[in-house]
Amino acid sequence: MNVAGKRSDSSNTADKDFRKQTDNDIFALDIGTRTVIGVLGHTDDDVFFVDDTVTVPHKSRAMTDGQIEDIAEVARVVGRVRSELEERNKIKLENVSVAAAGRALRTARVQHEADIEDKGHISSDVVRSIEMEAVAEAQSSLNDGAEGSELTFYCVGHTVVKYLLDDYPIKSLTGHKGKKASAEIIAAFLPSAVVESLYSVTDMNGLSVRSLTLEPIAAMNVIIPPDVRLINIALVDIGAGTSDIAVSRDGSIVAYAMATVAGDEITEDIIRKYLVDFSTAEEMKLTRNSDTIKFTNILGIEQEISETEFYESIFPAVDMLADTISEAILNANGDAPAAVFLVGGGSKLPDLSKYVAKKLGMPENRVAVGSNKFMRNVNTDNISVGGPEYVTPIGIGVTTTLSEGYDFSMVTLNGEKIRVFDTNKITVIDILRIAGYRPNRILGHSGRSLTYMLNGERKIMSGTLAEPAEITLNGVAVALDAPVRQGDKLTFKEAVDGINAECRISDIAGDVSEHKVTVDGTEFRFGTIAYVNGKHVTGDYKIQNYDDISVSTIDTLTDLIMSLPFDTTGMIFMKDGKRLRPDYYLVNGDEIISADRPLPENTHNIARQIAEKASASEKEQPVSEPVKTAETAAPPVNGETPSQEDAPGAQITVTLNGRMITLPEQKTPHEFLELTALANLDTKNPPAGKRMILTLNGKEAGFMDRLNAGDEIIIKWED
């Protein structure tokens, strides 16, 4: 264990002798890829005094590129750092400030405006509220943009780019009056997994997180305070796994960036070139001002190489690191800045600052390696922490004193703990989103409706309504926009989607029981018949959206005649040697035969025309209804009549649509069908949606009903 600072002479001090940690006892942890550095300090008259530091290296590669991989191992190292600081300083540490590396860093620039006309003098709380509203908007935009992935982003730092008071730029809003104020901020975010891993480590050590920030923000706060940020400066925190960048200009931090290339790339290059273990490679990398470098490789062979030869051998790796850092600075800043500070353990690499200056086209004296001599408002007189690796951990402590870190609250949802960003306006729906519930589980969907056409008429069947989610906050039912506070307990029962509308043909047409008859040996269907999109279906068919359905009923001989796909002009229909009347009700298995019968030359076959029309387009086929014939003096049984020939028809006079018509004498009785040709109807172009009216003496008629003198007939399209 590498320890900087005071040595303990009371490592066995009992817990009861430890004093409690106060608000002015600031415990900062820099959990790095290779080491964990702990800093204990306090403030006095706006100066941060470093009281003690402890550095403990990881024994295994528990972290990669600044991200915790082995939480238990990292927690063990943190525990050692904490215990050492506690024992040395006789203090029980219970809260800690931490920082996250910038792997998977996202940034958002947002401006939020607030109405302050009724607030009088603007307080610091109002300013903070405006900033937090901007951060909340930035966070919402990132989380919304992550739909389709399961990522949730946490803010780990923000800086104000500018304030506006009534649209005029102003350095500080505090104490002023006005009508509206706004803050433009740049906020840095990391995926929840990165933040949660840090919290898991602190939880395992019984530590509460007092403040969370981003590593380059922490370093910036101690090296480049606000009064220096008028200068365009890039600060690069080069750790073992990541190089994190912050850029200042015009009085504020204007950009953040990150590169997953850092000191480990150099160490790994040395390992490959010289066949040494990791710790040996680290020692070789940082050797300076020595004529020769001695080492023992993994084969146990002792070797020696000149410093000049060694650094020439690793130059390609150092050059690549310098190139990556320079490119990231240029991308974040747009061009070379006025100055660059390199901090972090990786910045100690010999000549790295010189290579970065060359890549940026800057004088070498404009790129500096940060150390305690560059730290502002920091006192390190009582402890030796001069190296650049201490800039970030001390900066974490300084950031805590500036109240620029972030804290998270713990909320319980269905018995599971969820961490939420305290400074955001958190509501129930925010908690549900953080927990991964999708909108349809929160709000539910009503069942889908079903739309279809039935015999030319549009039908809509609605699905059932969704059952809303059940939400309680601390045992009380609440709405989705209810605010949530630290320690609240939520219960949530998911919404239940409504049932989609569902319908089968039998639901709209009744019993679709088809039967069959034969006409002259050809089989035909009768009963209730359904077609969907021109195809015959059974009653079990499940109706789909936008289906075009036609349902017709064929019960009588007249219905059958109208559906037959051939010319029935002049035909009579027989069963078992007996002539069938038009109102004969068909029986399953009937065997019907037809016989031709001459009609007057001027008679047209309206039945054939209707049948042709129905055959041409199933979608326009009307629903056939049973035809009821005019009453006769002696009603036959089931519509059957004797088969013997009737006497020839005498000349008769009837009334057709209000005018007198005389029918000439003929050999067969006069029938209703003869008048269809005299009704002056356009049967080739029937009016849309209209049915034909056929009545005999005020009652519905069939085409083969007999006519008698004085009958009143109507043949027309309905009004």
Torsion of CA 295, 300, 302, 304, to 10 degrees: -50
Residue with tokens 């629903």: 623
In this structure, is residue 140 part of a structural domain?
no
Domain boundary among the residues 328, 343, 367 is at: 367
518 is a domain residue: yes
Domain count, the chain: 3
Residues 355 and 449 grouped into a single domain = no
Kindly tell me the sign of the dihedral angle through the C-alpha atoms of 478, 481, 483, 488.
positive
Residues 437 and 560 in one domain: no
Write a three-state SS string for 691-708: CEEEEECCEECCCCCECC
Angle, vertex CA 190, rays to CA 319 and CA 127, nearest 5: 115
- What's 468's DSSP letter? P
Q: Which of 324, 340, 367 is the last residue of a domain?
A: 367
Are residues 519 and 466 part of one domain?
no
Calpha distance 326→351 (Å, rounded):
14
pLDDT score, position 636: 42
**If we measure between CA atoms, which residue out of 102, 83, 111, 108 comes closest to residue 27?**
83
Could you tell me if 454 and 539 lie in one domain? no
CB 22 within 8 A of CB 210: no
For 715, the enclosing helix (H) or strand (E) is strand 712-717
Residues 487 and 556 in one domain: no
Q: How remote is the C-alpha of 49 from its chain's centroid?
A: 48
Say which residue the tokens 């028809």 belong to: 649
Length of the chain: 719
Give 67-135 as a 3 state SS string: EECCHHHHHHHHHHHHHHHHHHHCEECCEEEEEECCCCCEEEEEEEEEECCCCCCCCHHHHHHHHHHHH
pLDDT of residue 13: 43
Paired tokens of 553: 């009923």
Report the distance separating Cα 607 and Cα 623, nearest Å: 15
Same domain for 475 and 517?
A: no
Q: Which two tokens stand for residue 716?
A: 């027309």
Which is it for strands 47-57 and 378-379: parallel, antiparallel or unpaired?
parallel
CA distance 627 to 637: 16
Dist. CA 704–CA 70, nearest whole Å: 95
Q: Which residues contact 199 (CB under 8 A, 6 or more apart)?
A: 209, 408, 419
On whether residue 556 sits in a domain, the answer given is yes
Chain centroid to CA 443: how far?
Answer: 14
Let me know whether 577 and 631 are in one domain. Answer: yes
- For residues 582 and 587, what is the distance between their CA atoms, to the nearest angstrom? 14
Same-domain status, 580 and 688 = yes
CATH of the domain at 336: 3.30.420.40
CA pair distance 624, 555, nearest whole angstrom: 9
What are the residues facing 522 on neighbouring strands? 519
Domain stops at, among 444, 467, 492: 492
3-state secondary structure of 161: strand
Q: Is residue 97 part of a domain?
A: no
d(CA 297, CA 271): 9
**Each residue's pLDDT tens digit, 185-228:** 888 787 777 888 888 899 999 998 888 888 888 888 888 888 88
DSSP letter for each residue of 162-215: EEEETTEEES--TT---SEEEEEEEEEEEEHHHHHHHHHHHHHTT-EEEEEEEH
Q: What is the predicted pLDDT for the residue at 420?
A: 66
Tokens standing for 511? 């019993």
> Token digits for 562?
């109208």
pTM, entire model = 0.54
Task: Note whether 555 and 698 are same-domain residues.
Answer: yes
Residue 168 lies in a domain: no
Helices (H) and strands (E) in the chain, counts: 15, 41
What three-state secondary structure class fits 628?
coil
Residue 264 identity: D
Regarding whether 520 and 449 lie in a shared domain, the answer is no
Closest CA to 525 of 576, 588, 611: 588
pLDDT single digits (tens) 479-512: 887 888 767 889 999 888 889 999 999 898 888 8
Burial of 556 (0-12, 13-18, 19+ CB in 10 A): buried
Identify the pLDDT of residue 613.
42
Asked if 532 and 678 sit in the same domain, the reply is yes
User: What is the pLDDT, as a whole number, of residue 275?
Assistant: 93
**CB contact at 8 A, 553 and 559:** yes
In three-state secondary structure terms, 471 is strand
Mean pLDDT by 10 residues, the chain (719 residues): 42 64 93 89 91 88 77 93 94 91 76 80 79 78 59 73 89 88 85 83 90 84 85 88 84 80 83 89 80 89 89 87 91 91 85 91 91 84 82 90 67 80 65 74 81 91 86 89 82 89 89 84 86 88 92 86 78 85 88 67 43 39 34 38 50 85 82 79 70 86 84 86
Full residue range of the structural domain in which residue 309 is found: 226-367
Tell me how far apart the alpha carbons of residues 700 and 683 are, in angstroms, rounded to a whole number. Answer: 19
> Residue 558 is inside which H or E element, if any?
helix 557-563
Tokens of 637: 């049984």
Under a CB-based contact definition with an 8 Å cutoff, are residues 192 and 435 in contact? no
339 assigned to some structural domain: yes
The alpha carbon dihedral of 600, 603, 605, 607 has a sign of: negative
User: Is residue 361 classed exposed, middle or buried when 0-12, 13-18 and 19+ CB atoms within 10 A define those classes?
Assistant: exposed
| Cα gap 219→388, rounded to integer Å | 10
Residue 199 within any structural domain of the chain: no
* Distance from C-alpha of 25 to C-alpha of 151, rounded to nearest angstrom: 35
629 in a domain, yes or no? yes
Co-location of 645 and 681 in the same domain: yes
Return the number of other C-beta atoms located less than 10 Å from residue 272's C-beta: 11
Cβ(460)–Cβ(449) below 8 Å: yes
